[in-house]
Amino acid sequence: MKTFKMISFGLLSGDTADYLPMHDGIIINQENSHRMWILEMFLDVEYKERFEKLQAEEALVEAKVVISYPENEPAAFVLAVDTVQEIGNRVSVLLKGRLKRQRSEYAEQLLSELLDRGFEGQALLERFESDMRSRPRLKKK
């Protein structure tokens, strides 16, 4: 197993990620045959009901997670809420799931989409670098 610091956690809803303000977070690659990961984060107690609802529904959620360093690209996960535990005025949320396979041609597809939208020159470069970090969903071609 390998353990990493979770820098940020964003729940995906459509094309946008709702990044939750974490107090702390850890992510564990179990390195097993099922390719399972465990994520634990500490949030304000106001998020308790949101995750309890997802747990009760046994919903699979998609998330973007930045691991180890803020400048790392977010990794996409498909997760299920395993445990929601109130600790004082905070809540511990334990999620389990798998790393989502990224499209191997993401950079090329992103560049093509930005060019189609009329970006050029320095604006193209800045938007490309920004989107490579945030990894927005691309239109299906």
What does the alpha-carbon distance between residue 124 and residue 33 come to, in Å, rounded to a whole number?
A: 41
What are 92-140's pLDDT values in tens digits? 999 999 998 755 577 888 899 999 999 999 999 999 988 887 878 777 6
Asked if residues 30 and 36 have their Cβ atoms less than 8 Å apart, the reply is yes
What does the alpha-carbon distance between residue 49 and residue 80 come to, in Å, rounded to a whole number?
A: 15
Find the domain containing 113 and state its range. Answer: 105-133
What are 1-60's pLDDT values in tens digits? 899 999 999 999 877 889 999 999 999 998 888 889 999 999 999 999 999 999 999 999
Same domain, 91 and 115: no
Same domain, 13 and 58: yes
Same domain, 72 and 123: no
Same domain, 77 and 22: yes
Q: Is residue 139 part of a domain?
A: no
The count of domains in the chain is: 2
Same domain, 81 and 121: no
